[in-house]
Structure formats: C-alpha cells, structure tokens
Chains A and B, each alone.
Chain A
C-alpha cells in the first residue's frame, strides 16, 4: 500500500471515526451532567434565549470592539477563511462529495480559493502571534492552545504546498496532517467548534429566562 493510499484509506477511516465518536462522546457527556430546573417565575423564554444568546455573541459589543479589534478581525478572518476553503475549494468539495455526501456543490474559482486561503492564514498567524505577545494570553495559554494552533496551521500549510496538484507526495502529506488533526480534535480545545453553541446557549437561556439578553 502506498503512502497516499494509506493516509486516504485506513488512516483516514480511523481518524474520521475517532473524530465523529470522540466529538459526540464529549458533547453528549457535557449535556448528560444535567442542570437543576429553574423554578423561579420566568420573565422571558429560556428556549428563545438559547438561540438569541448564540446569535448575540457573534457580534462584538461596540464598546469592547475598540479594545479588542485585532482579535475580532484576526478571529473572523481565520474562521471565515477556513470555512470558505474547507467547504468551497474544488479539491475539498471533490473529496467530500466522493467520500461523505455523494453530492457536490458550486466551488470557488481558483483565485477565490487563494484569496480565501490568504485571509485564513493571515488571521491564524495574527492570532497565534497575539497568543505569545500579550501578557494575558501568555498567562492563560497552555500546550493545548499551541498544539491546536500549530496542527491547524500545518494542515493548512501542507494544503497550500499541494496547490500545484501535481505532486502525490504533497497531497499525501496534507492528508496525513488532516488525519492527525482529526484524531487530536476531540481531546483538546479545538472542540470549541462544537461546544460554543452549548455555552452561548446556556447563558442565553439562563438570562433569557430572566428577561435579559446577555
């Protein structure tokens, strides 16, 4: 079995399984801990608050945006760029439609792919540089933060290297790094991708019940 066959084959299946089941285990585990029912007379709807909270925290509140604009620009640049590339770049759509969904969808033109990737890279670099430059970030960051950032960066970088689409080795390296990323994902802070809706929702629900939108 060649290198590419291995990373696109057995290793990928193992990685994808760990990713899916690991993430599910963690999210379900959090929900199963449970919370006591609130019996105080409500002023608003908790359910509505769950959704409102999720939407509200997408937007930096005006007074804070001035102090934290770099984090917001870098953060959104990186995330939107990454999703754009992941979901709309032709090679990815081909892989996903081939292996997962069975159907495909319109993709970005090559120049769109490049620009989106550039935004994602710049955002991620700015975020990581901020992580070791800001004294607050230095205090609160741990190994998980750095490993998560670097695994993501290397996965993206290897993808960039493989853009020529002529080297099987480069494509395989990209896939290998993705596999490693998928395996690491459920055990670290990358899981925020699936837990953020719970935390925002919980706060939204708790305060929504009190008639507030925090």
Chain B
C-alpha cells in the first residue's frame, strides 16, 4: 500500500461516514473549547491537544474540503483546506485511540450539542479501513477471529469456569439450552477475571424462576469491532451472537456488565444487520431492576460496607440507566454514599473504548484515573466501590494501586446475588 493510498482510503471512509448528523456537527462547532473542560484526558494532563474537537480535525478537514456545501466553490478560488496526509493521520492516531474512551462527557457539555464521542466512533472507521490501528487492538482483533474472544478465551476455558461456579453455588448452569427465556453473553474479562458473575446469574435466575443459558459458540459480548471502529468486524462479531440466539430460539439476550457491548448489540446491532432481531436485548442491570420491581428477586439482609457507585459511561451517560443501579443499591446496601460529581456527568474510568487494550496508552490512562480517584476520595471512610462494568473493573484495579487507594471493587450482579433474600 503506497503512502498516499492509505490516506485516500481513510479520507474516503471519513466522507462515507459523514452523514447529515456528522455534517451538522462539523458546521456547528464554534471552537469554544468547552469540550476540553469536560475531557478527563485534558483535565489530568493539561495538554491542549486532548481537546475533543481537536481530535476530530482530520475528519473535519476532509469534510470541509470535499463534502461541505461550499467546498467546490472554495476549491475553485483556492480557499479549500489542504488534503489530509498520512503523516497527519499517523500524528492523530494516538489522539483518536489513546485519548478517547467515547465517554460522551464532551457531548454533555457542548453548547451546540455536538456528539463528539459518537463522531470519534465514525472517525475510527477511516483508521480501521486504512489499517492504522494501535497494536493492542490489532491483536485483540486477531484473537477474536480465531476464538471469538479478544482475550483468546476458548469454549474449553469457559466450560472450566462454568464448572467451578456450578460447584461454588450449587446450581447447574446450562449451556446451549433450547428455548430458554434468556441467553447471556459475557465479556472475556468477566469470564477470566470475575467468574463469580456466572454463579451470581445462576443464583438470581433460579430465585426469579426464569430459564437461562450460555451459548457454546457465542458467549463473547465485547465487540472489538466497535472499539477499533470497523463496522464489518463489528457486524461479524454480532452475527455470531445473533445466529446463536436465533438458533436457540431464546426470547432475550442479556448484555452483561460491560461497556460498549450494550450499545453495540442494542442500538447498533439491528442497523448493522439490516434487520430486527428475533429476540429482545436487555441489559443485566435493567433486567435485575425489573425482576426486583416484580418481586421476583427480593432483597434480604443488606450489605453494611460503606459503598459508592462508579457510573460506567456506556451504561449510565450513554446507556440511559441512571436510576436502575441506584434503586438496586438502595435495596442491597445500608451505607451507600454518592461520590462527588456522580451521575450523568461522572468521570470515565479512563480505560474504555479500547484504551485499556492499548499498552501505548497505559500512562495516559493512569493519569486520567486521577480524576476518578479524586471522586472516590470525596467519600470519607469509603470501603467498597460498585463497578458495573468489567472493563472499568480492570482499570480500577490498576488505578487504585497506582493511587494507593485501599478499596474493594465489586460488580453489581454479584452484590445483588449476595444480598438476595434467603429462601
């Protein structure tokens, strides 16, 4: 591939993905700089290059040169912006991948309502098509092609974890059960790092009296395609899940405590496949809240530890589930305190959207976690933090260590399962 053609491929993709929504964003930005004030990467480093709108520069320039309403006129009189070069694309690659988790805090603050986070997602399409993707994400993509899991988790490994959990909670976990109410998918991080979640599901669904299963061919929720920004890859990953779910004729697919997975299957999914699914998609937190409201999983003795909640960006700010985790926590614990700045505008952990899979972004990610550490420090005598996203949990583990904070980190499903009323 010659130098120029990589840039051409990227620019062509940029233009392809600049629909009227993205165009309206590019045409409305007044360079006010407020997005920087919302971005944890800018706030923790003070480096202006992490200004969200700045990250979109190459895509904006390509639009202004080739697609904007007066672009041909401007080209005629020599006032159109210059072509985007490969050099510039390479210079911007760390900005697009290392310093953005697509957390949408910038979207929240922008006076023009520009969805910078969503547009970064579109911009990554150009990079993925031109093969300019960070190494860490590239290897994750390769694992996915071989094993369906970005961490290379095989069905053998999954079955081993299932066996452990069945033993631990004493409840069978069925694989490939035809016609189950729910099919659960998990992130590799959960399967290998926090397998207790499997036991938690078993306990909760047994109590609720609903049938559930895990597919042996489609157990992975993490969508590396979304992180890399490759629609074809995202679609392939999703196809596996959709095919398996429809083959098993399950009524619902549960998206787990994971970040971008929910958005990928719930919102992007049908659009990528070009059709509706034959099942409904529900987030585990939504489901647990629903079951609790219906009285199917009543709460028992509350957990007494002083707790707070981390709001994963893709679940709360971009997922709309602000109330559900809180109402579940109100039932499950007796000493729940909100962090300063919690809720819709809470800080990102710093590792979502592919950043945690990117070793080059390690230092930046740790710096960004400083803002989360500040939030945690706002609660006196904090013991535990509930983190309903497996990726955030790994970031927390590294971050708490770096900032020398001694806190327990737990998932929400596990907490709800542990505080379930006794039979």
A and B touch in the complex (CB under 8 A): yes
By the criterion CB–CB under 8 Å, are B33 and A199 in contact?
A: no
A137 to B33 CA separation, bound complex (whole angstroms) = 6
By the criterion CB–CB under 8 Å, are B318 and A212 in contact?
A: yes
By the criterion CB–CB under 8 Å, are B267 and A40 in contact?
A: yes
- From B18, B104, B111, residue with most partner A Cβ within 10 Å: B111
| Tally of B interface residues using CB under 8 Å | 57
Q: Which of B104, B112, B317, B341 contacts A200 (CB 8 A)?
A: B112
Q: How far is the CB of B191 from chain A (nearest CB, A)?
A: 27
A207 to B70 CA separation, bound complex (whole angstroms) = 29
Q: Is B27's CB within 8 Å of the partner chain A?
A: yes
Q: How far is the CB of A123 from chain B (nearest CB, A)?
A: 13
B18 — which chain A residues lie within 8 A by C-beta? 33
A26 to B54 CA separation, bound complex (whole angstroms) = 23
By the criterion CB–CB under 8 Å, are B33 and A134 in contact?
A: yes
By the criterion CB–CB under 8 Å, are A187 and B20 in contact?
A: no
Interface digits, B35-49 against A, CB 8 Å rule (1 contact, 0 not)? 011100010000011
By the criterion CB–CB under 8 Å, are A75 and B111 in contact?
A: yes
A41 — which chain B residues lie within 8 A by C-beta? 270, 276, 280
Band of interface residues on A: 35 or more
By the criterion CB–CB under 8 Å, are B320 and A202 in contact?
A: no
A97 — which chain B residues lie within 8 A by C-beta? none
Q: Hey, which bits of chain B sit against chain A, CB under 8 A?
A: 18-21, 23-25, 27-34, 36-38, 42, 48-49, 51, 53-54, 67-70, 74, 104, 107-115, 118, 266-271, 274-276, 280, 317-320, 341, 344-345
Interface digits, A159-187 against B, CB 8 Å rule (1 contact, 0 not)? 00000000000000000000000000011
Interface digits, A50-61 against B, CB 8 Å rule (1 contact, 0 not)? 000110111011
A187 — which chain B residues lie within 8 A by C-beta? 70, 74
Given the contacts A30-B27, A71-B34, A214 and B271 also touching, CB distance less than 8 Å: no
By the criterion CB–CB under 8 Å, are B25 and A210 in contact?
A: no
A145 — which chain B residues lie within 8 A by C-beta? 30-31
Given the contacts A33-B20, A36-B19, A68-B109, A26 and B27 also touching, CB distance less than 8 Å: yes
Q: Is A77's CB within 8 Å of the partner chain B?
A: no
A32 to B27 CA separation, bound complex (whole angstroms) = 14
A36 to B31 CA separation, bound complex (whole angstroms) = 28
Q: Please, which residue of chain B has its CB at the minimum distance from the CB of A209?
A: B267
Given the contacts A40-B270, A145-B31, A33 and B67 also touching, CB distance less than 8 Å: yes
A189 — which chain B residues lie within 8 A by C-beta? 29-31
Q: Is A100's CB within 8 Å of the partner chain B?
A: no
By the criterion CB–CB under 8 Å, are B24 and A57 in contact?
A: no
Q: Is A107's CB within 8 Å of the partner chain B?
A: no
A41 to B19 CA separation, bound complex (whole angstroms) = 21
Q: How far is the CB of A180 from chain B (nearest CB, A)?
A: 17
Q: Is A35's CB within 8 Å of the partner chain B?
A: yes
Q: Which of A32, A58, A64 contacts B20 (CB 8 A)?
A: A32
By the criterion CB–CB under 8 Å, are B113 and A199 in contact?
A: yes
- From B29, B74, B319, residue with most partner A Cβ within 10 Å: B29
A195 to B24 CA separation, bound complex (whole angstroms) = 6
By the criterion CB–CB under 8 Å, are B109 and A202 in contact?
A: no
By the criterion CB–CB under 8 Å, are A26 and B110 in contact?
A: no
By the criterion CB–CB under 8 Å, are A57 and B111 in contact?
A: yes
B345 — which chain A residues lie within 8 A by C-beta? 61-64
A211 to B267 CA separation, bound complex (whole angstroms) = 11
A121 to B38 CA separation, bound complex (whole angstroms) = 28
Q: Is A39's CB within 8 Å of the partner chain B?
A: yes
A178 to B319 CA separation, bound complex (whole angstroms) = 46
Q: For chain A residues 116-146, which have a beta carbon within 8 Å of chain B?
A: 131, 134-142, 145
Q: Which of B21, B118, B320 contacts A212 (CB 8 A)?
A: B320
